[in-house]
Amino acid sequence: MSNVLTELSTAMATAVSQADSGIVRVEGRRRLGATGIVWSDGLILTANHVVNHDEGLHIGLPNGDRASASLVGRDPSTDLALLKTEASGLTPLTEGNKQELGVGNLVLALGRPGRTVQATLGIVSALGDGWRTQLGGQIDRYLQTDVVMYPGFSGGPLIDTAGQLIGLNTSALGRGVSLTIPTQTLARVADALQTHGRVQRGYLGVSTQRVHLPDDLKAELNQKRGLLVVSVEKDSPAAKAGLTLGDTLVAFGDSPVQSHDDLLALLAGDVVGTAVPAKFIRGGQVHTTEITVVARP
């Protein structure tokens, strides 16, 4: 047994050592530093919530030096930010085989809030299908661990015992749980940020307020709530589709909408430029219109 534990201990220490050159400190907020992952070609991925300003950014390098960085773009909906640096000697982490990852597998969360890399050990607690954050960001896989997220670990990598990248850790997407943004999402968002500086989101041009539906419409629509339209911007997609103040939006596409979060989740980038059917209540009657979604300004 002692030999097994010794081998495991050595393997984990080796994994941390191998990942060291792919992890930087991100100085994007006051006081405590955060962590970033070397992505490719001088690009650093980190958590959006630890980058509080757009200019005057710096990173701490594995060799102890400090280098300037610039913001390429950010996506609050997935809590990701992409930085660029001219610093040399940085090595991107190798992506792990996500098919081999299972509940119960040992994982390591790494951070560099100071000069050196810190590590904490845990297991994969839960794996699931893709999901959307409260701001409507698409995460390709639900990945929860029981690792302890020490201060400054947000933006750092989750690695397997071979030192390969599983995803980016963040404390901002779930309350009381340690969630990891998988590499598939990292690649998609990083590509969008590098190309456009942001992740494209759909836009209707309405402000809404959640309301309870009358009993007869609850039964007809099989839902309890809808979104009362309290303002419509001039020449917006909603205005062009005929929505007006006092309408109550109850469905968008094939999905019911009972809260503002429901609507945000349905306004992903893939619906931009498409005509989406929408159901709304006006004068106690259910009506249907088509809204051609545009990109959020």
Catalytically active residues are 49, 79, 154
Quick one: how far is CA 53 from the chain centroid? 18
Which residues are CB-neighbours of 209 under 8 A, at least 6 positions away? 227, 228, 230
Which residues are CB-neighbours of 46 under 8 A, at least 6 positions away? 26, 28, 34, 35, 36, 37, 80, 81, 83, 154, 155, 168
Three-class SS state of 104: coil
Greatest C-alpha distance within the chain: 76
Which residues are CB-neighbours of 210 under 8 A, at least 6 positions away? 225, 226, 227, 228, 258, 259, 260
What is the DSSP-derived secondary structure letter of residue 268?
-
Quick one: how far is CA 83 from the chain centroid? 16
Calpha distance 235→34 (Å, rounded)? 42
Which residues are CB-neighbours of 228 under 8 A, at least 6 positions away? 208, 209, 210, 211, 246, 247, 248
Residue 207 burial (CB count, 10 A): 15
Residue type, 252: F
Residues in the chain: 297
